[in-house]
Amino acid sequence: MSEEETHIRLTAWVHGRVQGVGFRWWTRSRALELGLVGSAANLADGRVEVVAEGVREHCERLLTALRSGESPGSVDRVVERWSPAKGGLQGFVER
C-alpha cells in the first residue's frame, strides 16, 4: 500500500468543558504517542478542533481517547469527520 492509502485525516470537534483545562496539551501528548501529526485548536464557541493525520488505526485510537473520559475537563460529545490525508503537516501543535 502507498502512503496515500495508509494515511488518513481525522477532524474531530470536541464539545464540553475543554478549554482552559489542559485538554489541548493532553490531546497533543496522546497524538505524539501515536505518531500522528496535526493540531488541537480552541474555537470561539468553546469547542476544541482536533486535526490529526496518520495511519487510520492510530487516528481511531486518538478518537477513542478523546471519548474516553480520561482527558482533562469534561467531554460531552465528539463529532468526527474522516477525509483523505492532505499532508504538509509536521509535528502536533496546540493553537
- Whether 1 shows a pLDDT value over 70: the answer reads no
Whether residue 58 is contained in a domain is answered as yes
Active-site residue 28, yes or no? no
Identified catalytic residue from 17, 28, 30, 42? 42
Domain that holds residue 64: 8-83
pLDDT on residue 86: 94
Whether residue 94 is contained in a domain is answered as no
Interval 33-46: pLDDT, tens: 999 999 999 999 99
Mean per-residue pLDDT of the chain: 94
Specify the number of domains making up the chain: 1
Calpha distance 43→2 (Å, rounded): 34
Active-site residue 56, yes or no? no
Identified catalytic residue from 9, 24, 28, 47? 24
Whether residue 90 is contained in a domain is answered as no
* Phi, psi for residue 47 in degrees, rounded to 5: -85, 165
- Whether 4 shows a pLDDT value over 90: the answer reads no
Residue 43, Cβ neighbours under 10 Å: how many? Answer: 13
